[in-house]
Structure 1
Amino acid sequence: MAGNTSVPGARVSARLLAIIGAFDDTHRVLRLSAIAERAHLTLPTAHRLVGELVDGRALERRADGTYVVGPLLWEVGLLAPVQAELRQIAEPFLHDVYAATLATVHLAVRDGDEVLYLDRMSGRASVPIVSRVGSRLPLYCTGVGKVLLAHAPPDVQQRVFASLRRITPHTITQPAVLGAQLERVRREDVASTVEEMSLGGCSLAVPVRRREAGGEPEVVAAIGVVVPSLKRDRQRLMGALQVAARGVGRILGA
């Protein structure tokens, strides 16, 4: 019976998923006790199931006794349609943006109420930032996030507006101010931030649209750059992003 947790098999699968779900962007390395606590399992149960996941390469045990996500989960995760198709199509365009700007370049999608980073390119001259491939950050204080939030359903916007918190002294936490910014994003097709997510980092981002046959173009992703300042080269940065976004959208639509 689907969804019936009284079925032994369902209980085991739910526990295994809880263990995998214990890992996230801020909990990448965990000890067994932390896994058990975060998965709401007893220590003996967690020990047994974690051992099975290690044997299956879903988790990896380090020499110091801590655990990290294993190669199997990474390999399978890359097969997810949103990652496989979009990353493959976007990669050459991201390279073009990086070559033209030498800035950190992001490809991101909305995942629930957060922005999920699918790809990132950076070099030694890039601005230090907190995003990583596979990481999730708030929608309201990143360039790619604001693009995606501006085109998100009303219920997503309402939840985000209700939970604005200050990350840096420059983070926008007033719903009215953020709402006006999102309206401008929809009007001008570009979003920007100035040190809202991390000090010393400014971002510029544009939407990637896919047009289904006979339908209206839909925003499915965002491409952005992070630079020390937007006071110089803003138009050059925006031009490179727009060319890339149109190229990715054109191939997605085809």
Structure 2
Amino acid sequence: MTAKLETIGFDADDTLWHNERVFRLTQERFLDLLRSYAERDHLESRLLDAERRNLEHYGYGVKGFVLSMIETAVEVTEGRVPSSAIGELLAAGREMLAHPIELLPHARDAVEALAASHELLLITKGDLLDQERKLAQSGLGDFFDGVEIVSEKTPAAYKAIFDRHGVTAECSMMVGNSLKSDVLPVIEAGGWGTHVPYEVTWDLEHADAPKDHPRFRVLDDLGKLPDLVAEFD
């Protein structure tokens, strides 16, 4: 018999509100700034390498992204990147940190509906100050019983979160756009993983879906989430 769901975890970026599209727009500015130094594909590859390399130093979020762009600019130009270009990248980062929040379709309705019957947790990666800002601007903060901002989403991290909130993984579901971070590790921890794909996925978040796993679900949008959760009652 399927255990009754007690707790539902939500990812934040690109699950409840738009985020990756802002990164893509800034990356286009970066590519345009350096177009006279290298081909687009080469710049994209070098930037991704820098992001991957810097995750352990800077973590996820805008600040690490900006530092990776600056590092790539210095490397690709062999130190000849003009200070004005560095200034533009820093300004782009500040704009990202001030970008208004735009909720995804059905996000508020789904969260509000489920808050009436389940414990809701926001479980996200990224910079603490930026994630707190986005949650406050989203207007969804009051619906969550807990907010967990972690450096990585691993099976151990999910188990620790569930333990802190007095629930088991078997009675918990994580909802998010990333198979790598929101679905696979929570399934490994013993919970349910529900994938709600976003229009674009960061290259470092790609993973294969566990298609035949009994605790894996896929939804087109958050509007279908309350009905899915009702199946566990």
For the aligned pair, the TM-score class normalised by the smaller chain equals 0.3 to 0.5
Bigger RCO of structures 1 and 2 (CA < 8 A, at least 6 apart): 2
Structure of higher CA gyration radius: 1
> Quick check: which one's helix share is greater?
2
TM-score by length of 2: 0.36
> Quick check: which one's strand share is greater?
1
